[in-house]
Chains A and B, each alone.
Chain A
Amino acid sequence: MIQIKDLSKIYTTKERVVKGVDNVSLNITTGEVFGIVGYSGAGKSSLIRCLNLLEKPTSGEIKIDGLNLMKLRGRKLRQARLKIGMIFQHFHLISQKTIYENIAFALRAAKTPASQINKRVTELLEMVGLADKRDVYPAQLSGGQKQRVGIARALANNPSVLLCDEATSALDPNTTLSILRLLKKINKELKITIVLITHEMNVVKEICDRMAIMQDGKVIEEGAVYDIFSGPKEELTKEFISSVVSFDVPSAILNKCTGRIVKVMYKGDVAGEGIISDTVQQYNIKGNFLHGSIEYIQEIPLGIFLMELQGDNQEVEKAISYMSSRASLVEVIDHGN
């Protein structure tokens, strides 16, 4: 679907040279929701803006549906852009035009016959749930509603890809959730591939299938969202994950613990919860929960518990190996005293 190969975008300003995107290669498959996360300045926007050539890459290759984008210019490029929708953090609607006109603008860019524009706009407004706002100006809408207009405009010409540059970052949590649901629906029902960038892990957790983490213009880790959440490799990835799946136990409490502290993680199966009670029953040990949560990532549970095991050293060892045989991961964090 989208093939990015050795893509670089170098910004040269008077003071310095910045590698906005540094030799990035990614393959995004048809029909997936692909998330790109990273801190401010990591190069997320630069990367996504290269995908429709809003930013001209310095080097590399971008293919969308087999079409080599960087070979296109003028009319050919405009035609390719019709099939690549984009929405923005600050919506970017034409403030002096009504919602209807804003969406019709996109349709006219595709030379849609005037007789069909009205019908198509109505259809799009219904899809995003704004049928009653058609003759209103953007200033009269809330942020969430403006983003819905942005989405309608981006989908006007039936694109195969939708690029989302921090599409929910200006919205409150509830509105964010409703926009994410809409995006998910678009992805599922219209089979549109979505590439979204964000700095919020919750967004990724909510709708992404796969993700990449960016730092200093480079992709430092990529994979299925579930895999990354359950087994982050890079430090930065762990840092991001911790905003959703946090194992931080105050050091005051850790210091008080005398037993061995283990982290138990199980994937995909809620029944895994039984591991803990089974262990405590079978072995002569005491278990204290320090922390625990079950996150649903793409509706698949990911359980993580932090517990203190107290008792005879050998019993504890046996208990740990028993747990290891059942859980996905058991990690001793602190050996205790």
Chain B
Amino acid sequence: MGIDFQHVVELMPDITKAFGETLYMISISLAVALVFGLPLGILLFVTDKGLFLENIVVKSVLGFIVNMVRSIPYIILLVALIPLTKLIVGNPYGPAAASVSLSAAAIPFFARIVETSLREIDKGVIEAAIAVGATPWMIIKDVLFPEAKSSIIQGVTLTVISLVAYSAMAGVVGGGGIGDLAIRFGYYRYDNTIMIVTVVILIVFVQLIQFAGDWISKIIDKR
């Protein structure tokens, strides 16, 4: 074992390409998760018992779907969604294709995180808003969202880090990215250098995300 720098330089184009693909997959699926997971999480919260848009039917149906998707291991979801991926992207390989299943996994994951963040809000603040005669939309926009913002940012961090892990799995079935690189070189060719480099990149990347997430969440919190 040991690092062969010559070899790293040689493979630099492959490494940057793979890292770029990973970023691409994560960005797309994170964007999708934010766009769909945030409203879904809010909906899960406000339709709960005792809240201002209480609706048992909506709550249980959404909750069931979310739980269902979340109970499927990612690798199975990846395979199961191949037909859907073909429909959306055209082919089942590559980073764009992997983004479909990554998004599918990230939406319910992030939605639950949002719901949990909202649950931490002091119920009294919501009540005070109701007492003042605010509309549900005002309460969501000016009370729920700002009050949970800091905690939701932490949730975004968690989602991104999970996506890093999932995206590496997507690599196994030809999704491209860092995981793909590690499999092709590190596993099939016993290339320790590449293995170590990918591991280091992933560690640094995750640390950076965590650090950035903590920092943002802290500076926006006015408590």
Please list the residues of chain A having a beta carbon within 8 angstroms of any beta carbon in chain B: 52, 54, 78-82, 84-86, 88, 90, 92-97, 101, 105-106, 108-110, 137, 139, 150, 153-154, 156-157
Q: Which residues of B contact A (CB under 8 A)?
A: 122, 124-125, 127-135, 138, 142-143, 146-147, 149-150, 220-223
* Other-chain contact of A94, B127, B130, B135, B146 (Cβ < 8 Å): B146
The docked-state distance in angstroms from the alpha carbon of A171 to that of B150 is: 29
* Complex: A85 Cα to B95 Cα, angstroms: 55
- Name the A residues within 8 Å of B149 (CB-CB): 96
Enumerate chain A residues within 8 angstroms of B220, measured Cβ to Cβ: 96
Bound-complex Cα distance A80 to B143 (A): 21
* Complex Cα gap A94–B134 (Å): 13
Q: Could you list some 25 contacts between A and B, CB below 8 A? A: A78-B133, A81-B132, A82-B132, A84-B131, A85-B131, A86-B131, A88-B127, A90-B122, A90-B124, A92-B125, A94-B143, A94-B146, A95-B223, A96-B149, A96-B150, A96-B220, A97-B142, A105-B132, A105-B134, A105-B142, A108-B134, A108-B138, A153-B128, A153-B132, A154-B132
Cα of A86 to Cα of B149 in the assembled complex, Å: 26
- A94 engages B131 (CB within 8 Å): no
Judge whether A95 and B147 touch: CB under 8 Å: yes
> Is there contact, CB below 8 Å, between B133 and A109?
yes
Residues of B within 8 A of A81 (CB): 130-133
Cα–Cα, bound, A84→B131 (Å): 8
How far apart are A74's CB and chain B's nearest CB, in angstroms?
10
Q: Which residue of A lies closest to B220 (CB)?
A: A96
A88 touches B146 (CB 8 A): no
> How far is A105 from B125 in the complex, measured between Cα atoms in Å?
12
Q: Please name all residues of chain B whose beta carbon is closer than 8 Å to the beta carbon of A108 when the two chains form the complex.
A: 134, 138, 142
Q: Which 10 A-B pairs rank lowest in CB-CB distance, beginning with the nearest?
A: A92-B128, A81-B133, A96-B146, A92-B124, A82-B133, A109-B134, A137-B222, A86-B131, A78-B133, A106-B132
Would B134 and A54 count as touching, CB distance under 8 A?
A: no
Do the beta carbons of B133 and A79 come within 8 Å of each other?
yes
A109 to B130: give the CA distance in the assembly, Å. 10
> What is the CA–CA distance of A109 and B122 in the complex, to the nearest angstrom?
20
Q: In the bound complex, how far is the Cα of B143 from the Cα of A88, in angstroms?
A: 17
Q: Which of B134, B150, B221 contacts A78 (CB under 8 A)?
A: B134
CA distance A139 to B128 in the complex (A): 17
* B52 CB → nearest A CB, Å: 10
Q: Tell me the complex Cα distance, A157–B105, Å.
A: 46
Contacts of B132 in A (CB 8 A): 81-82, 86, 105-106, 109, 153-154, 156-157
Chain A residues with CB under 8 A of B128 = 86, 88, 92-93, 150, 153
Query: A54 near B130 (CB under 8 angstroms)?
Result: yes
With A54-B127, A88-B124, A108-B138 as contacts: A95 and B133 at CB distance below 8 Å? no
Given contacts A81-B133, A90-B124, A92-B124, contact A105 B138 (CB under 8 A): yes
* Apart from the given pairs A52-B131, A92-B125, A157-B132, 14 other A-B contacts in the complex at a CB distance below 8 Å: A54-B130, A82-B132, A84-B131, A88-B124, A92-B122, A94-B129, A94-B142, A94-B146, A96-B149, A97-B222, A105-B134, A105-B143, A106-B133, A137-B222
Set of chain B residues within 8 Å of A106, measured between Cβ atoms: 132-134
Interchain CB contact under 8 A, B124 and A96: no
Q: Knowing A137-B222, A139-B222, A139-B223, say if A95 contacts B125 (CB, 8 Å).
A: yes
CA distance A82 to B135 in the complex (A): 11
Interchain CA distance A162-B66 in the complex, whole Å: 43
Q: How far is the CA of A52 from the CA of B132 in the complex (A)?
A: 10
With a CB–CB cut-off of 8 A, which chain A residues contact B147? 94-96
Residues of B close to A156: CB separation below 8 A: 132
Complex contacts, A95 vs chain B, CB 8 Å: 125, 147, 222-223
